[in-house]
Amino acid sequence: MLPRSELDRLEETGQWPQALAMLKHQLEAGVVMDADHWHRLGRLYQRLGLLPKAERAYLSSLRMDPSRPLTCNNLALLFLNRLLPAEADQWLMKGLASARTPQERDLLHATGCALRLFQLRHADALAFADRQLSIEETVMARSNRASCLHRLGRLEEAARDQERAIRLHLKKHAPQWQSACLPSLVGVAIADLQERCILQVMLMTHGIFQLCLQPGDPEGTQLLLAGQAADPAYWLNPARSGTRWDGSETPELLVWDDQGFGDTLQNLAWIPQLADRVKRLRLWLRPALIPLVAKRFPLPDHCVVEPMGSESEPWAQGVPQVGTYYLPIVMKAWSQQARDGGLAFLQRHQSLQHRAAPRIGLVWSAGRHKAPQPERSARVRDVPLQAFFLLAEQWRQRHQARLLSLQLEGHADEPVQGLIQKGVLEQPLRSPDWLETAEVLETLDLLVTVDTSVAHLAGALGVPTVLLLSCPADWRWGQHGEHTFLYRCMHLARCAVPGDWSQALSQADHHVGALCRAMGLDGEWAG
């Protein structure tokens, strides 16, 4: 039998396919698999995203030894990753009931924290994190507490706990860096692969917390760059780090579509400034965005747009490269001055028109996602349906407005379905095509939306927009004020406390009324 230490080495260095192949070879060779072997097999399948196989391996482990808290913990995480919180909760409770060691309780409380955050039970998540800390102050426990405090709007405490977690991590794995200023740790290789990726994730998270507290904070924006080095593949492929653009002059630059559609649409605004710095600019975009960019975005003469597939590797091109999310940060251009005051940068094919009945577009949900973290983030941004549509119907009556959905899903929910059947809510958008979405947006006089990619498209087109923001808001919007330097046409309506949308809806009502009055007085919308 091959030594277990070799399996440990392969796992610790992120070589999970190789570790899996080694363990499967043992199984095929007739080696008797005990509960520990099956647990390890399940863990490797889980790390590789092969969740049905992971579940079967874990259940085999539990059949041999029913009292395995860590196996229950991993099953809870597995079902959470499938977006099945009820099943995850069952395995969590089973694991907690049989946990005996501090390590077992620590991991299970961490999973409990993640599960409660997913369920938007933020106070309960904090209770799990506090119990985790009472067992032992670990990096995971302190970082989990920071995440809970952030969601509860306790931003200063969140930033302090996150920095404490980073210092604890450095003390254990890289004591020579323990007192270093945090931006100097971005992209630094410490310990093994897993620990250096954890460090980079924590640095980026701390940057987000700092930017929530102080928009534009130079240290916070620099810490965001740690996200580039948070992927194990970054360290396993030297070309990724070797081609990462640092903002210096270069004959050729490849900018690629690395995050959500909203991030990419937002950061197209910096392409014209970037074009002045390079002789040849290549822009890799997902095919869904290319028709919109080709027809609506005035590309510099020396910029070429190329389609980007799911398996494309920008670092394999042998030229400096940067993802669109990080572009304005690397350029050191994340500021109102660099953004030209938020002017529209996508061309409109229809101008704003005076109408007797204003057309108000509505987006109430941030869409569905397949992974826990983006799904949790999206649900935090969703506005309560009943309160939202009660207000929308008031706009319809008060301003004789037509209501149009800019959602592609969620129309089967009440009260949405009933409003569609009554003819109160129209559905002009039938396709996820971004160019078609732009064409529909241009027919609107006003968009009222939660924080999602359609909001960025409206802002880029200059469509008057009221943006409903949860508390705390995403770092790019700041936590105060009714305006953003990103889009001049946008008005921000904010929640005062986490989970309470009443103030945001009241502010949205004020903005909609002001814009409708402006149209009625001077025949055009005030942007």
The pLDDT of 136-159, averaged and rounded, is 97
The pLDDT of residue 122? 97
Summarize pLDDT for 457-492 with one digit per residue, the tens.
Answer: 999 999 999 999 999 999 999 999 999 999 999 999
467 within some domain: yes
**Judgement on whether residues 187 and 244 belong to the same structural domain of the protein:** no
Residues in contact with 281: Cβ distance below 8 Å, sequence separation at least 6, in sequence order: 252, 253, 255, 271, 274, 275, 300, 302, 303, 304
Residues 212 and 155 sit within 8 Å (Cβ to Cβ):
yes
**Judgement on whether residues 510 and 371 belong to the same structural domain of the protein:** yes
The pLDDT of residue 414? 92
Q: What six digits make up the tokens of 304?
A: 């070429």
The pLDDT of 215-223, averaged and rounded, is 95
The pLDDT of residue 28? 80
- Residue 183: helix, strand or coil by DSSP? helix
Summarize pLDDT for 289-330 with one digit per residue, the tens.
Answer: 999 999 999 999 999 999 998 889 999 999 999 999 999 999
Tell me the pLDDT of the chain averaged across its residues. Answer: 93
Tell me the pLDDT band of 353, cut-offs 50, 70 and 90.
low
**Judgement on whether residues 258 and 292 belong to the same structural domain of the protein:** yes
The most confident of the ranges 150-154, 230-234, 299-303 is: 150-154
**Judgement on whether residues 178 and 322 belong to the same structural domain of the protein:** no
Summarize pLDDT for 248-281 with one digit per residue, the tens.
Answer: 999 999 999 999 999 999 999 999 999 888 999 9
Q: Which long-range contacts (CB under 8 A, 24 or more apart) does 389-397 make?
A: 389/364, 389/415, 389/416, 389/419, 391/505, 391/508, 391/509, 392/360, 392/362, 392/448, 393/419, 393/424, 394/509, 395/360, 395/509, 395/512, 395/516, 396/424
Tell me the pLDDT band of 522, cut-offs 50, 70 and 90.
very low
Summarize pLDDT for 18-33 with one digit per residue, the tens.
Answer: 999 988 887 787 777 8
Containing structural domain, residue 130:
4-232
The pLDDT of residue 521? 38
Helices (H), 13-101: 16-28, 35-47, 51-64, 69-81, 85-98
**Judgement on whether residues 79 and 168 belong to the same structural domain of the protein:** yes
342 within some domain: no
* Domain count across the chain: 3
CATH number at residue 36: 1.25.40.10
Residues in contact with 203: Cβ distance below 8 Å, sequence separation at least 6, in sequence order: 166, 182, 185, 186, 223, 226
**Judgement on whether residues 417 and 470 belong to the same structural domain of the protein:** yes
In angstroms, rounded to a whole number, what is the distance separating the alpha carbons of residues 444 and 363?
Answer: 13
Measuring CA to CA, how many Å separate 91 from each of 97, 110, 436? 10, 14, 45
**Judgement on whether residues 228 and 253 belong to the same structural domain of the protein:** no
**Judgement on whether residues 390 and 287 belong to the same structural domain of the protein:** no
350 within some domain: no
**Judgement on whether residues 308 and 436 belong to the same structural domain of the protein:** no
pLDDT surpasses 50 at 523: no
The pLDDT of residue 340? 85
144 within some domain: yes
The pLDDT of residue 520? 67
Residues 206 and 224 sit within 8 Å (Cβ to Cβ):
no
**Judgement on whether residues 218 and 248 belong to the same structural domain of the protein:** no
Q: What six digits make up the tokens of 32?
A: 């008797």
Residues 292 and 438 sit within 8 Å (Cβ to Cβ):
yes
527 within some domain: no
**Judgement on whether residues 184 and 328 belong to the same structural domain of the protein:** no
The pLDDT of 47-58, averaged and rounded, is 95
The pLDDT of residue 276? 86
b/e per residue, 93-129, with b = 16+ CB within 10 A? ebbbeebeeeebbbbbbbbbbbbbbbbeebebbbbbb
**Judgement on whether residues 72 and 164 belong to the same structural domain of the protein:** yes
The pLDDT of 66-76, averaged and rounded, is 96
